[in-house]
Amino acid sequence: AQRVTQPEKLLSVFKGAPVELKCNYSYSGSPELFWYVQYSRQRLQLLLRHISRESIKGFTADLNKGETSFHLKKPFAQEEDSAMYYCALSGLTQGGSEKLVFGKGTKLTVNP
Amino acid sequence: DAGVIQSPRHEVTEMGQEVTLRCKPISGHDYLFWYRQTMMRGLELLIYFNNNVPIDDSGMPEDRFSAKMPNASFSTLKIQPSEPRDSAVYFCASSPSGRGIYEQYFGPGTRLTVT
């Protein structure tokens, strides 16, 4: 079964400091990993996917299959990065359907 | 485009009552998802449809829950009878064909409180 673990419920950093939101996964197949973000009073939205290897709003995430991790990083946090971040994994279920499984989320607060 | 539309935004009902949540996906999107979010369990997929056909309903908690998608622009999630443990935020999301299921566009959610 697919599982996504985000060990930190809350993460607080100061503006300009580096930030890393941790995500670990469990999946027997070849996973596709994603980060979703929900800013205050906005809808949950896709931030980035590992396949595209892109940087969005200064965030990057590298899939480490050896450590089964997909941590989200940004070298210099900004106050507008304060939000709820969800790691998600797309894979096949035992029934053969594709499913997106979310972690429980990490609330990031960037202090001035 | 208004995005995914959900109604009502808030619902307060008494235990035993029937509750119906509604969703209008983004026009042209082929996938529709229903999620439930609680503090304890996080965001859980309940059911999803592709071209109006249910594909995976393994997340539906029990027979009290049912979902329908009579056409490409409308879906309902019904709870009958409702129980206090059903209190949660229910999200609807849709995604376009060709993007698999990962690029989901979420609605604002319906906050359900069952007393």
Least CB–CB distance from B58: residue in A88, A95, A100: A95
Rounded (to 5) percent helix, strand, coil in chain B: 5, 55, 40
The answer to whether A98 faces chain B, any CB pair under 8 Å, is yes
CB contact under 8 A, A100 and B105: no
Q: What is the pLDDT of residue A5?
A: 96
Tell me: pLDDT of B100 over 90: no
Least CB–CB distance from A100: residue in B101, B105, B108: B101
pLDDT tens digits, one per residue of A44-88: 999 998 877 788 899 999 899 899 999 999 999 999 999 999 999
Q: What is the pLDDT of residue B70?
A: 96
The answer to whether A56 faces chain B, any CB pair under 8 Å, is no
User: Rounded to a whole number, what is the distance in Å from the CA of B57 to chain A's nearest CA?
Assistant: 10
* Kind plus residue range of the DSSP H or E element containing B34: strand B29-38
A91 Cβ contact list (under 8 Å, min separation 6): A2, A27, A29, A31, A32, A98, A99, A101
Residue A5 three-state SS: strand
